[in-house]
Homo-oligomer: A and B are copies of this chain.
């Protein structure tokens, strides 16, 4: 049966990097005779420009009907003055919510060839190999009320809301990942202040009894923000609520040397998932061939593994990327110190990955 991947190029360098990933996927599908088709839809600023809204219904329907979604990036200064409801980011938040993609997976792993590029000393970076599982459809991002109040609208509230069910399903995902890894789970909260964090901790402890071989630790979000710098090698799987996950995963994204390398997956209970690079739309380098396509290509590897059950093909991409880096090929964002360092553009980097496969 034909599988469908919806491609959402989005804004800025989004189209350049999704083009690259689609080329890599296409090459693999042809080589392995997989019947997969690509459908492109609009999201973010591109959708605002064409249709006046950041997430057209057609995009949602097409994503719902597909097996996986590959997204580039959304946003840019062009749309920054828009009113709240027609901002590009609403497209991203909207698609996550509409599809119920509650678990955002962001790995942080040291690439041997990029360790020198990290702001941290190698001693701290070398052992880094962890995954952040961020709750993605609850908390402060979607809680109501979120509004101005008072006679002169001089008050404002946002709401951090969770149900046990929402916490449980994402915590389970994290335990499942930990079971397949080094069996260590760090749950991050602010239980000394927030009622929601105390419920979070209770749910984690309850779910823990179903995974007796996983070691569980509870950590406070402020302390974790420190530990990610002074001892990032201690972590295996980190699970946390939406806003804490947003902050900590961005912090984690820079310790290993390049944001341009980091893939992410947004998953739910079935196989459907949305895959996107961690980096943004980088409006300053659009159309110059400077975009690093590797984060999106590695996101495509996640797509193969988690949504299409193509583990071998996923591993082929990952190995190819490692090899290309080892050979010294790099886009301008990567500070590679190999003797044979060769600066390449977006398309050339993609060519290199394909020939390394």
Contacts and interface: CB of A to CB of B under 8 A. Distances in A.
A332 to B, nearest CB: 15
A324 interface: no
A194 B120 contact: no
Contacts of A156: 161-163, 195-196, 199
Interface in A113-160: 119-121, 124, 140-141, 143, 146-148, 150, 154-160
Contacts of A195: 146-148, 156-158
Interface string A165-197: 100000000000000000000000010111110
Interface string A72-110: 000100000000100101000100000000000000000
A198 interface: yes
Interface string A210-229: 00000000000111011011
Given A157-B159, A226-B250, A140 B199 contact: no
Interface stretch (A61-69, A240-248, A267-275, A298-306): A240-248
A255 interface: yes
A87 B248 CA distance: 26
A248 B246 CA distance: 13
A253 interface: yes
A254 interface: yes
Contacts of A196: 156-158
A61 B195 CA distance: 28
A164 interface: yes
A284 interface: no
